[in-house]
Chain A
Amino acid sequence: MNNLVILPIVIPLLAGVALIFFRKQIRVQRYVTTLSLLLLAVVTMVLIQQVSDAGTQTLNLGGWDPPFGIVLVADMFALLLMLATVIVAFCCVLYGFRTIGEAREKHYLYPFIHFLLVGVMGSFLTGDLFNLFVFFEVMLLASYILVSLGGTKDQLRESLKYVLINIVSSMFFLVAIGYLYAITGTLNFADLSMRIAETGQDGLITTVAIFLLLVFAIKAALLMYFWLPGAYVVPPMAISAMFAALLTKVGIYAIFRTFTLIFYHEPAVTHQLIAWLGILTMIFGAIGAVAYWDVRKILAYNVVIAVGFIFAGLAVFTEVALAGSIYYLMHDMVVKALLFLLGGVMIGLTGTDQLRKMSGMIRNHAALGWMFFLAALALAGIPPLSGFIGKLLILQGAIGEGFYILAAVGLVTSLMVLYSVMKIFMNGFWGENQLSVEDERMSTRGLLFPCAILATITVGLGLGVEWVNVYALQAAEVLNNPQLYIEAVLPNAD
């Protein structure tokens, strides 16, 4: 028992509930939000240290032993993603203080950001399929509101699509849980894993696994990404950045968790399917990213490409490739948030998101320009920066295990990613300066600081590979060896 494990859920929930009472006091809202996020970061780091020293930490809620009660499991994989979540959320909120505007802030913006975090943290921590569903819903309900908050015409149109698609996929999720419960009689991850290992993964269970894959793929934008570009383009940029960094990653986490812990017995069927889904996602995402001349759309399609690439590591399914995926996942959360925030500054300055209408911004905004350049290189995977090592490990694994098409598509789409973000950089920052400081629609005061934090982390993740790798390998070890997870959750089972 370790009550620290619940704190990443309790802190944002308490802060969110408390902020309902201070609707009009925006300063209080901002202070409490900053404070709770800092506290969350500290708790997550303490947990990472504990897990690193003493192995996976669990908490049986209410004192009921699993599989009968609800169990929360903090393993290294979940915690690394949680730390990235907190950092990204903190920077997006700092950015949001200056850009989102009072009207939205007074309508419960910060409570809903907190509830979104409750959902994300809960999804990472839970050790039980039905609780995963509940936390997914907590996250999705908060995200429905954050997409539509403000009530512009575009937001209403896109949020309708987003809500419809997610309700349908949540219903599928529930049906899949029903089937799985009927077959195995349990919903606890560790117990499920043990029972399926005993009875073997027959055709029926594989069918349910693919059904679950479909559900999570809709949430993670794995091939089923049609809702994503629209929904990520309409909210204010700070919210978009948070979505781009967090929402799809929870779906990705769910697929990683279920397909490494529970349904790992038929890789010829399920992991092969994941590989093809990943390949198609990368190709379609890359086509989208190259095709558009609209900053937000290009960035949104880059989210899709990264999803495909992360699944390459799962499809390969060796410990090194999984570590690569984990590393790439963390990198992608940070760098996507950074790119969205920088893109937001560019759109804010010029008042347009069309690339053809902006140019020469480097003259007045050198820091912004070079930070964007850095983020673009990190995204494409240029060696000293953070995207490199994850890509390297995944591609090494893919080539070593004979996934040549996957590796080739991964490499080619990396080029297309680089082309698409460099297109933004070259069109936006080079060339004739069209915009004098007086013509700009807003000032960058206070906006570059959160971007600088993220940029520093991107560089740090790249340069400090040796140091981060220890943790990434610990995470991959648990993913690759389900027995470790089962022993942590059910210490008395043999």
Chain B
Amino acid sequence: MKTNDVILQTIASVAAFIILAFAAYLFFAGHHEPGGGFIGGLVIASALVLLYIAFDMETVEKGIPVDYKILTGIGIGLSLLTGVGAMVLGYPFLSHTYEYVDFPFFGEIELATSLLFEAGVSLAVVGAILTIILSISEDV
């Protein structure tokens, strides 16, 4: 018997966007307030897991065609390359720098290379969590 989860699916598709927005907030708040790449990545992963619970795996995979193992690799690579970048420029490995940039609409914003590092952490977290969850839920 097929159960009818129209309420779950409707709420999940709205809630996923709210959760992702919250994840983006947490990710960018990390420098000055509680938050950062790790927690941001976990919240993104929770939004995706909610979609997997509400819909079946094929539907979500059609909507988000990402290989999460590759995503993990990209994440680690990005974090690593921010360190290597400093080394190539002649600074000690993992040196970070920042710059104040004037944006037309938002005003002056502090841009730091540690943001790239944290983005790598986020991608690695999302990739690792979803790889775990998807591989234990699959029938092999």
Contacts and interface: CB of A to CB of B under 8 A. Distances in A.
Contacts of A23: 69
Contacts of B70: 20-21
Interface stretch (A57-65, A164-172, A243-251, A310-318): A57-65
A58 to B, nearest CB: 10
Interface string A14-37: 100110110100000000000000
Nearest to B87: A3
A1 B95 CA distance: 12
Contact of B80 (A17, A20, A63): A17
A61 B92 contact: yes
Nearest to B76: A17
Given A10-B80, A10-B84, A14-B84, A61 B93 contact: yes
Nearest to A1: B92
A13 interface: yes
A313 to B, nearest CB: 33
Interface in B69-100: 69-70, 72-73, 76-77, 80, 83-84, 86-87, 91-96
A63 B83 contact: no
A237 B42 CA distance: 38
A62 B96 contact: yes
Contact of A20 (B72, B92, B95, B96): B72
B77 A17 contact: yes
B92 A13 contact: no
Contacts of A10: 80, 83-84, 87, 93
Contacts of A1: 92
B77 A18 contact: yes
A70 to B, nearest CB: 8
A6 interface: yes
Interface in A428-443: none
Contacts of A17: 73, 76-77, 80
Interface residues of B, number: 17
Contact of B69 (A14, A20, A62): A20
B92 A62 contact: yes
A416 B111 CA distance: 65
Given A6-B87, A20-B72, A21-B70, A62 B80 contact: no
A63 B95 CA distance: 6
Interface residues of A, number: 16
Contacts of B80: 10, 13-14, 17
A363 B69 CA distance: 49
Contacts of B73: 17-18, 20-21
A119 B140 CA distance: 32
Contact of B92 (A14, A18, A21, A63): A63
A23 B95 CA distance: 32
B128 to A, nearest CB: 12
B129 to A, nearest CB: 16
A62 B94 CA distance: 5
Nearest to A61: B94
Contacts of A20: 69-70, 72-73
Interface core residue of B70, B83, B86, B93 (most chain A CB under 10 Å): B93
Nearest to A62: B94
Given A10-B83, A10-B84, A59 B76 contact: no
Contacts of A63: 91-92, 95
Nearest to B93: A6
Interface core residue of B83, B87, B94 (most chain A CB under 10 Å): B94
Contacts of A18: 73, 77
Contacts of A60: 92
A23 B131 CA distance: 15
A60 B70 CA distance: 31
Nearest to B91: A63
A21 B67 CA distance: 11
Contacts of A61: 92-94
Interface core residue of A1, A10, A62 (most chain B CB under 10 Å): A62
A13 B87 CA distance: 15
Interface core residue of B69, B73, B91 (most chain A CB under 10 Å): B73
Nearest to B77: A17
Given A20-B70, A21-B70, A3 B83 contact: no
25 contacts: A1-B92, A3-B92, A6-B87, A6-B93, A10-B83, A10-B84, A10-B87, A14-B77, A14-B84, A17-B73, A17-B76, A18-B73, A20-B69, A20-B73, A21-B70, A21-B73, A23-B69, A59-B92, A59-B93, A61-B94, A62-B86, A62-B93, A62-B94, A62-B96, A63-B91
Give me the 4 closest cross-chain CB pairs, A-B, nearest first: A20-B73, A6-B93, A62-B94, A61-B94
Interface of A: 1, 3, 6, 10, 13-14, 17-18, 20-21, 23, 59-63
Interface of B: 69-70, 72-73, 76-77, 80, 83-84, 86-87, 91-96
Given A3-B93, A17-B76, 10 more contacts: A3-B92, A10-B93, A13-B80, A17-B77, A18-B73, A21-B73, A23-B69, A61-B92, A62-B96, A63-B95
